[in-house]
Amino acid sequence: MLLFLVASGLTIILSTLRKINFAHGSLFMLASFFAFEFLRLVPPTLRSIWLAIIVATLVVGAVGAFIERSLHFLGEREKVYEILLTYAYALIIYEAVHMLFGSGGKFIKTPSYLAGRVNIFSTTFPVIGFFIIVVGVSAYVGLWFFIYKTRIGLLARGISFDEETARTLGINTNRVFLFVFFLGCAVTAVGGGISGMWIPVTPYMWELALLQAFCIVIIGGIGSLGGAFIGSIGVGQLTSFSIMIEPRISMVMIFIVTAIVLLVRPQGIFGREIL
Amino acid sequence: MKKLIPVYLVAAILIFTAPFLFEHHLVYIISLFLCYSIFALALNLVLGYMGKLSFGHGAFFGLGAFSLAYLLEFVPFPLALLGSIAVSSFFAGLVGLVCARLKSIYFAMFTLAAGEAIYFVVLQLVSIRGLYGLSVPTLEPMKIFGLKMNLGSFNNYYFFIVITLFVLTWTMYTITRSSFGNMIKAIRENVDRVEFIGVNERRLQWANFLISGVFAGIAGALYAPLVGYLAPEIIGFAGSAEGVIMVILGGPNTFVGPIVGAFLLVFIKEYLSILTEHWLFFLGIVLLIIVYVLPGGVAGYVSDKLKPR
């Protein structure tokens, strides 16, 4: 479900702006670090995981908005340069975090009401796992509502369909782009903030997050929220099953599935032809 | 480009006489630069001539290097070299099979994923032996066609690299000037039209990706005995990133661009890594500046200046 938060952010940016954000994994990692550092630095009265996640989300969303703005300065250049630019940001964020916070794994302390375990069918599950599932599902519902039921979502869909016409009709496409990019990064940042309670926070986690998000987006289909949802469940299952067989092979398994999907159905399972 | 011929000549002479002129460490860096420039040229076949961004080329470079190091334990150097070329071409062909169908964004995403997948496999295979990296056996003296060669000595190996580099560079130059190269450029400009005149563009893209991967593999194979110890990082993200940055730094639209880029990168890296271990940060900033200010790269800028107006 954490994967869904990363992948859905990526996919709404990709479908609306037709821009790929290679820095997405880095933003995910950055959010984890912000949440962690926030909890470490603020006085105890404010030390709440919720506040940390909100702060991390806003800051990372702002970083995302900055990246989006800077893409505009490129003007009408080839797509290759947009990819390169986000790639450069990915490198910079990764090394900056590495420099500032070190490479060691950090855990965000789980609040007591989420730290317990529950028994279901005589197997124990950690509560935090359920919490993550709840967040993931509500993010899915929220994003769906945003895209299909709000005005700005309608504009975003319109722009992804035909940008020229949308601009001709007097829509401020730049503002919609900025908002969508902010939202995409913010969703990812929520995932990043929560992830610190589930997996150790390291500067290296961006790579895996980015790759898995890419594979999910390819499998599920670009621009399809449902595809990203199904894709992340699938990839998550695949990862945990292949970990049972051989820990490091999971990435290879995901990759093979991605390759097969691309060969059989290049637009992804639920995708439509864009780009 | 007639004005630049003296520059090329001086560079060639400097490269050939380097072991007699400079101290050992500098010669070592120059030979690193030579290996990287083959790698960058290979990557440029895809990036510059086909206009597609491959983030997985470090994998072919690394496969060449690792398979050479592994094979050297069993067979002499020429056989190991052939073997490593076979390995990298096999994987390049396999990845290219999927890649040839993809458009720019998918292409970048997929090559990144492919590179990482290969990285994890190699990491796994290497760590089975309880090691983090892989050390390369020293090259034994041998006889080829009655000629005695002792590649174990550094200077001899240096000349071996230089000669191979010139042969490979000339080969790639011929490829880019051939009708095949022209077709690849046509694909970059307009795929639909290429398809329309009845050309199987997928097969051409596949072939180009394969050629590029093979050359990257050779570069890796030459690189392995030079450094003596292989870290798995060259395969993964960092290796591919270096390749892309070299090409962009030098200039993707010119033939010599990647060589210039490789030169700059190797020296920047050499001096930055003395100062800080986080040199990727500065490389990222350099990339940012290049993308904004010098989209044609350094070589592109120079050739623009020299163009008669």
> pLDDT (tens digit, 9 = 90+) per residue, B75-130?
777 788 888 888 888 888 888 888 777 777 778 878 888 888 888 787 777 766 65
Domain ranges of chain B: 2-306
The more confidently predicted of residues A149 and A103 is: A149
The pLDDT of residue B134 is 63
- Contact at CB, A262 and B116, closer than 8 angstroms: no
Q: Does residue A120 register a pLDDT over 70?
A: no
Alpha carbon distance A37, B102 (integer Å): 41
> What CA–CA distance (Å, rounded) separates B66 from B133?
9
pLDDT above 50: residue B204: yes
Confidence band for A218, pLDDT divided at 50, 70 and 90: confident
Give the pLDDT band (50/70/90) at residue A179. Answer: confident
Q: Is the pLDDT of residue A273 over 60?
A: no
With an 8 Å Cβ cutoff, are A95 and B103 in contact? Answer: no
- How crowded is the C-beta side of A76, counted as CA atoms within 13 Å? 0
Tokens of B274: 């003395």
| Interface contact B52, partner A, CB < 8 A | yes
Residue B210 pLDDT greater than 80, yes or no: yes
pLDDT for the residue numbered A275: 43
pLDDT score recorded for residue A77: 64
DSSP run (H or E) holding B149: strand B147-149
Residue B305 half-sphere exposure toward CB, CA atoms < 13 A: 9
On the question of pLDDT at B264 being above 80, the answer is yes
Does residue B272 have a pLDDT over 80?
no
Mean pLDDT over residues B288-299, rounded?
74
Residues 6+ apart with CB under 8 A from A151: none
Contacts of B283 in chain A (CB under 8 A): 91
Joined together, the tokens standing for residue A102 give: 């070190």
Interface contact A211-B280, CB threshold 8 A:
no
CB atoms within 10 A of CB A144: 15
**What mean pLDDT comes out for the span B149-170?**
75
Tokens representing B197 are: 């005149």
Residues 6+ apart with CB under 8 A from B256: B250, B299
What is Dmax (Cα atoms) for chain B? Answer: 62
pTM to 2 decimal places:
0.78
Contacts of A258 in chain B (CB under 8 A): 110, 113
Determine the 3-state secondary structure of A124 from DSSP. Answer: strand
Rounded to whole angstroms, the Cα distance separating B80 from B239 reads: 22
User: Which chain B residues have a beta carbon less than 8 Å from that of A214?
Assistant: 109, 112-113
Choose from A113-122, B92-101, B146-155, B228-237 the range with maximum mean pLDDT.
Answer: B92-101
pLDDT at residue number A118: 63
Interface of B with A in 116-135 (CB under 8 A): 116-117, 120-121, 123-124
Distance set, CA B86 to CA A190, B81, B90, B142, B286 (Å) = 46, 9, 6, 22, 35
Token pair belonging to A122 = 């005589």
* pLDDT exceeds 80 at position A222: no
- Measured between alpha carbons, how far is A132 from A4 in angstroms, rounded to an integer? 11
Q: What is the CA radius of gyration of chain B?
A: 19
Q: How far apart are CA A6 and CA A146, in angstroms?
A: 17
pLDDT of residue A55: 79
Phi, psi of A169 (to 5 degrees): -80, 5
Name which of A198-202, B36-40, B223-227 the model is least confident about. A198-202
Taking the CA of residue A83 and the nearest CA in chain B, the distance in Å comes to 8
> Do A85 and B114 make contact, defined as CB atoms within 8 angstroms?
no
Name the pLDDT band for A108 (thresholds 50, 70, 90): low
B281 Cβ under 8 Å from any chain A Cβ? yes
Confidence of residue A272 (pLDDT cuts 50, 70, 90): low
Contact A156, A16 (CB under 8 A): yes
- Please give the DSSP secondary-structure letter assigned to residue A270: S
Q: Find the closest chain A residue to B296 by CA distance.
A: A81
Residue A8 to residue A270: CA distance in whole angstroms: 14
3-class SS at B147?
Answer: strand
* Tokens describing residue B125: 């295979």
Tell me the mean pLDDT in the region A219-239. Answer: 76
Name every chain B residue with its beta carbon within 8 A of the beta carbon of A218: 106, 109-110
> Who wins on pLDDT, A189 or B135?
A189
Which residue pairs, CB below 8 angstroms and at least 24 apart, start in A130-138? A131/A194, A132/A1, A132/A2, A132/A194, A132/A198, A133/A1, A135/A1, A135/A5, A135/A190, A135/A194, A136/A1, A136/A2, A136/A4, A136/A5, A136/A232, A137/A1
The percent of residues in chain A predicted with pLDDT above 70, rounded, is 76
Summarize pLDDT for B115-151 with one digit per residue, the tens: 888 887 877 777 666 555 566 666 665 555 555 555 6
Give residue A172's pLDDT. Answer: 75
Segment B265-281 shows an average pLDDT of 74
Return mean pLDDT, chain A. Answer: 74
* A218/B106 touch (CB, cutoff 8 Å), yes or no: yes
Residues of B with CB below 8 A from A243's CB? Answer: none
Query: How many residue contacts between A and B have a Cβ separation below 8 Å?
Result: 115
A155 pLDDT more than 50: yes
**A252 and B121 in contact by Cβ < 8 A?**
yes
More confident call, B84 vs A105? B84
